[in-house]
Structure 1
Amino acid sequence: MKAKGDATYYLIKLMNELRTQFKKFHVQRLHSNQGGEFASAELETYCAKEGIILQTTNGYSPQENGVVERANGVVMPRIRALQLATAMPDLLWGEALLHVVDTLNKLPTQPLGMQSSHERLYGAAPDLSVLRTWGCLAWVYIPPDSRRRKEKLKPRARLSLLLGYSNSTKGYKFLDLLTCQVITAQGGNAHFHEDFTADGDYVKQLLENNYLECMHELPSTVPIVRIKTTMDSFVGGSGGLLHSNLDLTLDDAPMRADPPVAAGAPVGVADNEVPGEPRGTSSAVRSASKSSGRIVESSNKSASSPAEQPAAASPAKRSTRKRRTRKHGKTDEKVTSGFEIQSPPVVPCVKRPRRTQKQNVRLSDYVVGHVHAVQGDIEIPTTYKQARASKYWPQWKAAMLAELQSLRGHRTWRLVPRSSAKKMKVITCRWVFAVKRDERGRVTRFKARLVIHGFKQQRGVNYSETFAPVIRFETIRAAIYYAVQRGWAVLQYDVKTAFLYGDLVEEIFMEQPPGFQEEGPEYVCRLLKSLYGLKQAPHIWNKTLHAKLVTMGFERLDSDFGLYALKKEGEVKMLLTVYVDDLLLMGTPESCKATAAALKESFELTTMGSVKYLLGVEILINRPQRQIVYSQQQYVVDVLKEYHMSTCNGCATPEAMSPSKAVQPETSEILPYRELVGSLQYLVSASRPDIAHAVRHLGKYLSNFDHTHFAEAKRVLRYLQATKDYGLVQDVSEGTSAELVIYSDADYANDPADRRSISGYVTMLDGNVISYASRKQEINAMSTCEAEYVAMSEAAKDILWLQGICEELVWSHPVPLMFGDNEGAISLSAKPGKQTKHIENKYHMVRRNVELKRMTVTHCGTEDMVTDIMTKALGAVKIARFRKMMKDCGGRDDIYFAGYCCAGAASY
């Protein structure tokens, strides 16, 4: 399966096959967990039609589905063992899984009376001679019809890697180690070297080059290593002779044009023999084949090809002295005395062909389903010249050509003589390169953007208005909660080349794109449309999109200009969020589809399905459990890697309770302090309230920092290392109402530099965190009571904002409730006193709203004041406690696998 959403299709397919192929089998009950992949209308309809009873486990009770859970516990260790033994990349874990399951089905088990599952199902014992070592090397015969003319001197077999057993033919499945094609062949047409495999890094880079458009430089010969066994660790260790690499050379290969058929090997294959290795192959022949360099030529077309085998070459007698072998990688040449180790087979090698190979559709689908990733760093060029010198030049060039084609399609400019610019300044431009990644950090696309140097524009000459609103993270969390509470789909769309849709009013001239000049330097581009880099480009695009949405009946909310609502008869039917060119549509699947179709009439939209990854935040929606998770695990991993902290030790708190007073000597060293604090601030904004106070503290020193502050920032990274899988969890309530609560707190005279207090608040909707903040107060409070009162006024602004969103969305809610832990401040919010006459009028907002009954203020014990985490450095116990109260917790992967489901026709 490529996705968990395909489970319904394959489950129905399996039940149909059982009923058709085995008359005695008829599924009567379907028992599963509460995973979203099993909660589809299609599956329910099928089971109702066939009279099958659907039964699920209780939440978080895997023991109720013990048979399947135990099966997973049996299979996964064997997959790990295969991959550790062969050092194959994780990209091939799906093939290892199929191989393990097929092998287990053929082995006898005690519960079945020492019969195998295969024998119990088919009534006949399986042929165990067909079992082979997964990931081993094999030479697969090339049929004459598949050879090119004038290639009489070329090899007659392909050096391949065994992937497992073919389901479509009676044969094995191989990966060609030169062309990266997946081929099938019967056992008689393949010669196996079960003690050896290809180097895992080589296989990994081969897959990436062919199916992910990477440009790894592969060696001209295939590096071969011995498969690790229990004896390997005993003889020679990890660096012993058994692990020495081999280079395959054509000189070592005894080749024959027409080899004789091995004695006793039948030409045909019995119907019940899968994959169909000849029964007559004697153990002597099998033994000789392991130590010789002979090739068994076989077919990749059909299982009916003749089973041709060449005569075994007589292996030369080896001396006992240590020999030096050519190594592709770093190896040791230790020889362990006391053991007689058989010499490795002399395996011929074929040089890599220069001609391009047609991509195999089967493996392309496989890579998308199981891999779809680029491992390793991709250096992003900053100039056109660097892109040309990059090993990824073909990808960058293709991205630039695609960008130019889009620009021409939108009629973004027209070429005019330079003299047409008159006294106007011709602005230069540049190429900006990037790679697009998914929620797991895997590269999905190479991107190139032509950007004009907008910093050379002059206000009043070639631009005026620049304002363009974008939605806030707090609004996104509230909007998605609103949608999931009503059972709506949350679908993501991307507007391609969004800035090119707006018409440009000002007269602007630009140089031709670097590397793609259509005419000589005497011609320049007269811009007709907005372009990336122009100061007014975001404003023009937002104005264009807003006009379109208004014609479709959407209203922009006053609480956030990035949120639109479609109302009918006073009831909200749809929501739409806008962050530049990233759109979220929320509503029924039918209404989302209709709205997207209307938008596509004016803009080119990319449909991305149910929201999974938005603005660097992974969004997981578990509808059966009614949970939403916001996680930035991959972002944390990337930040740790960027600052060389990937292998650092974690710590339990983001900051020390008592800051260091050690004096650091002055240094001229340039530290990436501002960049690091900026990266951490993005984490705070999106999903990590637990580091808000630490990052606010670090932000004070952006213009005057030293090694002490950089060490404090690195401590936050160590904390993230220990909690990188943490994220905000929202438990969606039943019904369509909302309960608004805010916690307010202050730490009096916290800052030793100016003795100002720190305010903090956490705003919750139905007990789920929506917004939070940690800020230094603008005034010097004269008492703890005054500091708490000022903090309440700051918190009141946020709860009133959320209340405004609820009112605009016709979201019923009781009067918001504010919690504080200072009785004096709570008293001041209800009635004035002489001790408050000096406080500025703006801080009395909380009192006015209490009088208007727009909110209620009540007391909360200090031990339950979750906002403490926003105002001061805390110990590990309190950090963990308040983190739990905010549902800022780990276990993101558990929530993901518990029932994360995508948008679709049946399940959204």
Structure 2
Amino acid sequence: RLFITRKTASIHGIASCKRHRDPNAIQRVAREGLAKGISIKKCDIFQTCECCVEGKIARKPFPPITERQTTRVLDLVHTDICGPMNTVTSGGSRYFLTMIDDFSRYTTVYFLKRKSEAAEVIEEYVTMVHNRFGRNPIVIRSDQGGEYKSKRLGQFYRAKGIVPQFTAGYSPQQNGVAERKNRTLVEMARCMLIDAKLGYRFWAEAINAAVYLQNISSSRSIEKTPFELWYGKQPDYSNLHIFGCSAIVHVPAEKRSKLDPKGKKLIFVGYADNHKAFRFVDPTSNKITLSRDAKFIEMEDFEHAAINRSKKTNPQIVEYEFDDDFPFDDDSDFDDDVGDRLESEEEDSTDETLIEEELTDTDSSMCDSTNEDDGDDGHTLERAAEELTVRRSSRSTKGVPPQRFRETTGMVRIFLNERILITQEYCEPRTFEEAMSCPDRDLWKRAMEEEIKSLHENATWEIASLPKDRKAVGSKWVFKRKMDGDGKIVQYKARLVAKGFSQVYGADYDEVFAPVAKQTTFRTLLSIAARRKLIVKHVDVKSAYLYGDLAETIYMKQPTGFEIGSKNDVCLLKKSLYGLKQAGRVWNQTITEVLRSLGFHSSEADPCLFVKNKRDRWSFILLYVDDMLVACSEDREYEDIENTLKRHFKITTLGDVRNYLGIRIERGQNGEYLLDQASYIRRIAKRFGQEDARPSRIPMDPGYPKIQQKEEKPMPRNDDFQSLVGALLYVAVNTRPDIAISASILGRKVSNPCQADWTEAKRTLRYLNSTADLKLKLGEDGQLEAYVDADWAGDHQDRKSNSGFIFHLGGPISWSARKQQCVTLSSTEAEYVALAEACRELLWLQKLMKDVGEKTTGPIVIREDNQSCLAMLPAEGGCRRTKHIDTRYNFIRDLVNNNVIQVQYCPSERMIADALTKPLSKVKLVTCRKKLGLQSLQLEEE
């Protein structure tokens, strides 16, 4: 490729910037003066572009069918939808929709999650063109897809005086302009990705850039460029750059320290809404940056390289069709014949079909202020939290560089199952093809080979022909870089999973529930281990799900890249496999049987805690899917357990526990355990652009809950907010009770956040980043005790109260900060509700204490700071209470009378649960934080 000087360049250099447009079309632009900023030198080199051949090869064209008859813009608009794509984008889109003006051939593109969104974006398009031209389209031509014949769209057409024109059934030729346009855009995007050697996850950025380039290019069917016919002025080529080239992007002074580099190397992926800004992606984080200040590094020796290539034998071109392994679906949604028949009428063809893939793309610019940076998200784990989808479409409308494709900010994972993705800093491949195009392809290949070897050794399946009356479930590769507590990559893992979503209930599976260990159980186990001087080892079962025998007959497609036999051959599963709906349950039953054979029994409080007591020598095994913590008195006991596990499974012994579920674990001088998530906190701070932001000494502004009363305009997109809140929740439930109420309050806004919510979420993150070294200390001496508090009517919108409690056993083992389910009429009633919630947790904890052999003497002390609440407990009736409060009152009194609990008064200034009910000022927070069990030797309190 050639560095474009903006003055004179060879046809090959311009073609590279134009991303594989036909050289004849480019020459015509220069020859007839259809654009500014372009001059082409003569070049005697005949060069075949292998990327174009690879990306555009198609069948021979048929004769053109019709001639264009419109005489002005908006007389006729063609529209068509392309999709669904093989991979869903990070914003959830599976389709793109084009709107093509017949007269100018100017194209607007929208990205959709569902076809049903077509009506919404067509309405948006009509509004946009009416604002520009003062009139609506006369005719909109489409196929007979249900999305175009909806009741909503029909009513809209009638209201706007638009005539819908539908093609005859099974006659895509009648909508050939749109069919051909979609194919052309897909072809260009494919060629751009191949040539730039970018992962397929950037397909939507490539489509976006292709639309822009199409709009500023000439074709044989029109005399001027679409841009000029639409805007009345010539396009300017001087701002064109090679898609996928490197660029040094200026970092504003506000976002760097004095010694930091002034520029950062990013990858150019398109154009923003105006000529003054470009779109860049950081390949390490997938964060999109908008900036006008950049130095492009395009290959200046393009012509020299072209001459060298021309000396070689021109490669023989063999016509072929892409097979199913190529991630673009070539015949997914448009007709080859139609496109080829229009080839003499339309702009030059380029063939494409889209692949979909996760791209973490944000709107944030390096030119924004630090506190306004958006970030990306992207979460995917075997046991990751549930995804919250966000409905949105994106469009490319103007001939000036579009800032569309808001395929926004990573797949949103809100924390539900006490687990969220830990490896946000790295971009995991989403498909086999992308893994093979990564720089570390050899490591991924080795990981896949190890997985296949493991599957064969376990006799997971046998190859069989698929019966005619059965359907095979799909299979997919899932890739993951495994990291230690410091965020360093320690292993490349490739897992073959079944696409369990296609299983049929009653035929392919029945019961699916499988438990996982509670975080409270995890902290309790470490506390007891520290107090009893037990050793705690970490064991990982390799390919755990493969050890369970399947009761059902399930057929699965062979893994990509490792197919054998004929096309009809599939895998008849004999063992359980990741992805199957029943896989977790089958594995849990298998490991439970093995542990019972060792003399362990599952805890009544938590079925994932296995306990063994032999002559007062206690051993424990905590199971979180395939991760095990083994706690016992002596090395000999552990070796016996390890050897028995090795007889049944392939295990990895990780030694003393140092990292569990993304939590770093250290052991203090006195045997206590110190837990932190500093590495994870710094990664999410970097992901959301807050790593160098001004520190915050409080996680939330104490006045923020009152701001929620005000009507504020919702954020235009909330997936960034959801992703950040999910990350905050993960930290809050594991190691940081000091942000529990902040995460709880923010979590109530995930469906409709406003700018004030986003500001507070980033404040919480800045607080975490500045206090990342705080450690949760477990295992000191002390009896089980609790602190309970409530913030009456703390939610200023519905006036429900906030409850907070924390249980200590020589360190915090359980805490909660949540909104109450009912509205209370007084602070006393609010305290009763909070006290009842704490008592329910206490009853569960007592079961756990009994299971692990931890004796409690006398009633459990619960500290409460409401005098009226305490004064009413001994009273016998005489008080008017609503039913829901009365039941809680009697529940608590019953526990007091049975000597289960003893409620004691605690002055408000010493009530540490106060930090779990409302945002506190800095002085109060620091006092409560120490009593909550958080400490750091490095952190200096200010």
Q: What TM-score do the two structures reach when normalised by structure 1?
A: 0.55
CA deviation map 1:739-795 (0-9, x unaligned): 1100011011111111111111010113x1111001111111111111101110101
Q: 1:757 is matched by which residue type in structure 2?
A: S
Match of 2:915 among 856, 866, 869: 869
Describe how 1:693-712 pairs up with structure 2 within 5 A. 693-712=741-760
Partners of 2:675 and 2:714 in 1: how far apart?
A: 41
Which residue of structure 2 lines up, in the alignment, with residue 537 of structure 1? 583
Which residue of structure 2 lines up, in the alignment, with residue 465 of structure 1? 511
Could you list the structure 1 runs, at least 4 aligned residues long, displaced by more than 6 angstroms after superposition. none
1:892–1:528 distance in 2 versus 1, CA, 3 Å: farther
- How far 1:474 sits from its partner (Å)? 1.1
1:423–1:842 distance in 2 versus 1, CA, 3 Å: farther
Which residue of structure 1 lines up, in the alignment, with residue 670 of structure 2? 625
Which residue of structure 2 lines up, in the alignment, with residue 885 of structure 1? 931
Partners of 2:595 and 2:433 in 1: how far apart?
A: 41
Describe how 1:353-502 pairs up with structure 2 within 5 A. 378-418=426-466, 420=467, 422-502=468-548
1:476–1:667 distance in 2 versus 1, CA, 3 Å: closer
C-alpha contact (below 8 Å) 2:555/2:571 kept by paired residues: yes
CA deviation map 1:283-333 (0-9, x unaligned): xxxxxxxxxxxxxxxxxxxxxxxxxxxxxxxxxxxxxxxxxxxxxxxxxxx
Partners of 1:376 and 1:885 in 2: how far apart?
A: 32
Which blocks of at least 5 consecutive residues in structure 2 are unaligned?
A: 1-260, 262-282, 285-422
Q: 1:644 is matched by which residue type in structure 2?
A: G
CA deviation map 1:192-212 (0-9, x unaligned): xxxxxxxxx9xxxxxxxxxxx
C-alpha contact (below 8 Å) 1:789/1:826 kept by paired residues: no
- How far 1:832 sits from its partner (Å)? 4.3
SS in 1 for 2:912: coil
Partners of 1:625 and 1:764 in 2: how far apart?
A: 18
Q: 2:828 is matched by which residue type in structure 1?
A: C
Which residue of structure 2 lines up, in the alignment, with residue 796 of structure 1? 839
Match of 2:807 among 763, 768, 788: 763
- How far 1:729 sits from its partner (Å)? 1.2
Q: Does 1:813 align with 2:859?
A: no
Which residue of structure 1 lines up, in the alignment, with residue 600 of structure 2? 554
Q: Does 1:745 align with 2:789?
A: yes
SS in 1 for 2:570: strand
Match of 1:594 among 630, 640, 658: 640
Moved more, 542-551 or 669-678: 669-678
C-alpha contact (below 8 Å) 2:529/2:536 kept by paired residues: yes
Partners of 2:556 and 2:834 in 1: how far apart?
A: 51
Describe how 1:101-180 pairs up with structure 2 within 5 A. none
Describe how 1:34-45 pairs up with structure 2 within 5 A. none
Partners of 2:618 and 2:776 in 1: how far apart?
A: 27
Describe how 1:19-58 pairs up with structure 2 within 5 A. none
Partners of 2:743 and 2:853 in 1: how far apart?
A: 36
C-alpha contact (below 8 Å) 2:533/2:671 kept by paired residues: no
Partners of 1:797 and 1:378 in 2: how far apart?
A: 41
Partners of 2:836 and 2:447 in 1: how far apart?
A: 51
- How far 1:730 sits from its partner (Å)? 2.4
Match of 2:740 among 692, 699, 703: 692
- How far 1:837 sits from its partner (Å)? 5.3
Partners of 1:726 and 1:511 in 2: how far apart?
A: 48
Describe how 1:699-738 pairs up with structure 2 within 5 A. 699-733=747-781
Which residue of structure 2 lines up, in the alignment, with residue 855 of structure 1? 901
1:714–1:824 distance in 2 versus 1, CA, 3 Å: same
Q: 2:875 is matched by which residue type in structure 1?
A: K
Q: 1:603 is matched by which residue type in structure 2?
A: F
- How far 1:667 sits from its partner (Å)? 5.1
Which residue of structure 2 lines up, in the alignment, with residue 825 of structure 1? 869
- How far 1:840 sits from its partner (Å)? 5.0
SS in 1 for 2:497: strand
Which residue of structure 2 lines up, in the alignment, with residue 101 of structure 1? none
Which residue of structure 2 lines up, in the alignment, with residue 637 of structure 1? 682
Partners of 1:870 and 1:779 in 2: how far apart?
A: 18
Q: What TM-score do the two structures reach when normalised by structure 2?
A: 0.53
Which residue of structure 2 lines up, in the alignment, with residue 332 of structure 1? none
C-alpha contact (below 8 Å) 1:387/1:393 kept by paired residues: yes
- How far 1:515 sits from its partner (Å)? 1.4
Partners of 1:832 and 1:770 in 2: how far apart?
A: 34
- How far 1:494 sits from its partner (Å)? 0.3
- How far 1:520 sits from its partner (Å)? 2.7
1:837–1:714 distance in 2 versus 1, CA, 3 Å: closer
Which residue of structure 2 lines up, in the alignment, with residue 653 of structure 1? 698
Describe how 1:205-244 pairs up with structure 2 within 5 A. none
C-alpha contact (below 8 Å) 2:779/2:809 kept by paired residues: no
Partners of 1:693 and 1:457 in 2: how far apart?
A: 40
Match of 1:509 among 527, 540, 555: 555
SS in 2 for 1:450: strand
Partners of 2:892 and 2:550 in 1: how far apart?
A: 46
- How far 1:811 sits from its partner (Å)? 1.5
SS in 1 for 2:732: helix
Partners of 2:506 and 2:873 in 1: how far apart?
A: 48
Describe how 1:247-326 pairs up with structure 2 within 5 A. none
C-alpha contact (below 8 Å) 2:472/2:557 kept by paired residues: yes
Which residue of structure 1 lines up, in the alignment, with residue 215 of structure 2? none
- How far 1:558 sits from its partner (Å)? 0.5
SS in 2 for 1:451: strand
C-alpha contact (below 8 Å) 1:727/1:892 kept by paired residues: no
Which residue of structure 2 lines up, in the alignment, with residue 783 of structure 1? 826
Partners of 2:856 and 2:715 in 1: how far apart?
A: 56
C-alpha contact (below 8 Å) 1:557/1:805 kept by paired residues: yes
CA deviation map 1:550-607 (0-9, x unaligned): 11110111111111111124x3521110000011111111101111111111111110
The structure number with the bigger radius of gyration is: 1
What's the Cα RMSD here? 2.2
Describe how 1:21-100 pairs up with structure 2 within 5 A. none
C-alpha contact (below 8 Å) 2:895/2:901 kept by paired residues: yes
Partners of 1:549 and 1:559 in 2: how far apart?
A: 17
- How far 1:433 sits from its partner (Å)? 0.5
- How far 1:423 sits from its partner (Å)? 2.1
Match of 1:675 among 713, 720, 723: 723
- How far 1:826 sits from its partner (Å)? 1.7
CA deviation map 1:708-764 (0-9, x unaligned): 22221111111112101112112523xxxx511000110111111111111110101
CA deviation map 1:160-196 (0-9, x unaligned): xxxxxxxxxxxxxxxxxxxxxxxxxxxxxxxxxxxxx
Partners of 2:931 and 2:670 in 1: how far apart?
A: 19
SS in 2 for 1:531: coil
Partners of 1:678 and 1:799 in 2: how far apart?
A: 27
C-alpha contact (below 8 Å) 1:474/1:770 kept by paired residues: yes
Partners of 2:557 and 2:610 in 1: how far apart?
A: 38
1:651–1:487 distance in 2 versus 1, CA, 3 Å: same
Which residue of structure 1 lines up, in the alignment, with residue 619 of structure 2? 574
Partners of 1:376 and 1:445 in 2: how far apart?
A: 16
C-alpha contact (below 8 Å) 1:789/1:829 kept by paired residues: no
Counting aligned pairs with the same residue, the percent is 33
Partners of 1:474 and 1:460 in 2: how far apart?
A: 35
Partners of 1:517 and 1:462 in 2: how far apart?
A: 23
Which blocks of at least 5 consecutive residues in structure 1 are unaligned?
A: 1-200, 202-215, 218-374, 895-908
Partners of 1:400 and 1:713 in 2: how far apart?
A: 39
SS in 2 for 1:641: helix
Which residue of structure 2 lines up, in the alignment, with residue 844 of structure 1? 890
Partners of 1:378 and 1:669 in 2: how far apart?
A: 24
